[in-house]
Amino acid sequence: MRRVLSAVAVTGLAAAACLVTAGAASADDSTFSVVGPESSNGGVSLAQCPSGSHLIGGGYQGSPAFTNGGSPADFVDSNSPSAVTPNAWVAKFHVYSVKAVALCERDK
């Protein structure tokens, strides 16, 4: 089993993504991701692990805005486990839309 503890950020003119794992993740099919619905501009997206699995990390997918000078014009308000919904990851951009991504592991 390979253990992964990483944070990945990819930014560009078209897309941004961040994924954080908070525990052991294996290279087999015991881990999988769930992508939440795209939020409205400035809204929240929630991705929840299904029954029979538990949350081990998460992140987001989004399309950031840039000024004419190329500086980011948006920022991440939230990118964390949900404090309200069990086994779920929540993400929110300040201005534009985002999709939460939950990293799940099947219960043994």
Q: Considering the entire predicted model, what is its pTM? A: 0.73
Proportion of the chain above pLDDT 70, given as a percent: 73
CA-CA-CA-CA dihedral for 72, 77, 80, 81, to nearest 10: -150
Q: Is the pLDDT of residue 24 over 70?
A: no
Predicted pLDDT of residue 4: 33
Residue 62: strand pairing partners = 16, 98
* pLDDT tens, residue by residue, 44-91: 999 999 999 999 999 999 876 778 888 887 889 999 999 999 999 999
Give the integer Cα–Cα distance in Å for 76 and 101.
14
What is the mean predicted confidence (pLDDT) over 97-104?
A: 97
Which of the pair, 27 or 48, is modelled with greater confidence? Answer: 48
Give the integer Cα–Cα distance in Å for 2 and 65.
36
3-state secondary structure of 13: coil
Q: Is the pLDDT of residue 10 over 50?
A: no
